[in-house]
Amino acid sequence: MQLELVDQRLREDVPPLAIEVLRRLVADLGAGHWWLNLVLVDDPQMATLNQRWYGGQGPTDVLSFSYLENEGPGAAILTAGQGCAAHDLWADPVADDQPQIAGEVIIAPSFVAARCAREQWDLADEWALLLVHGSLHVLGWTHDDDDQQAAMRTQEHAVLAAADRRHPLFTPDGGAS
């Protein structure tokens, strides 16, 4: 999957991981002709999206919107094995061999930075995790129950490890830290 950066914020700063590192994190996910928008928003924008689409209050770190259809292009080759995500908001289906936007991962950098400072988390590790986590949601992974959460956490760890990144919530025994 290919990654494009879309910065919707008024204040521009560079994400803690270079965009090329972020692109490598998602390169082996999904199909090669799919692309993923990484959208950066400010906290008020994130709060609006969180309320509108998920019923949440206030900003959150990451939201995902999948444009893949349950029966649409590429559904058979999703690596998640869990079908596609529930949101098919704006994209029109295209032929399997044509470039297609798989979805968007939306991150609120200020919210993430403040939480990492408060919790003393490594900001670069958190950015990598949020991108991978959001990308897996685009590809249909969920964490609605303990088994799904464990499977998703294991997949996150595998993707991050392949890119020499640490999963900040994954311990060697496979549990949460």
On whether residue 169 sits in a domain, the answer given is no
On whether residue 145 sits in a domain, the answer given is yes
On whether residue 33 sits in a domain, the answer given is yes
Domain encompassing residue 150: 2-162
Look at the chain and count its residues: 177
The candidate with the shortest Cα–Cα distance to 22, out of 148, 88, 86, 109, is: 109
Tell whether the torsion through CA atoms of 57, 58, 62 and 68 is positive or negative: positive
Bridge partners (DSSP) listed for residue 90: none
Q: Are 105 and 138 in contact (CB under 8 A)?
A: yes
> What's the rounded Cα separation, in Å, for the pair 84 and 28?
17
What is the reported pLDDT for 37?
85
On whether residue 9 sits in a domain, the answer given is yes
On whether residue 177 sits in a domain, the answer given is no
On whether residue 168 sits in a domain, the answer given is no
On whether residue 174 sits in a domain, the answer given is no
Q: What is the pLDDT of residues 51-97, one digit of tens each?
A: 988 899 999 999 998 877 554 434 444 433 333 333 333 344 445 55
Place of tokens 């990451």: 62
One digit per residue, the tens of pLDDT, for the chain of length 177 reads 666 767 666 565 656 566 667 777 777 776 777 788 888 889 999 999 999 888 999 999 999 988 775 544 344 444 333 333 333 333 444 455 556 777 889 999 999 999 999 999 888 889 889 988 998 888 888 888 888 888 888 888 888 888 888 887 766 555 554
Looking up residue 76, the CATH number of its domain turns out to be: 3.40.390.30
The count of structural domains within the chain is: 1
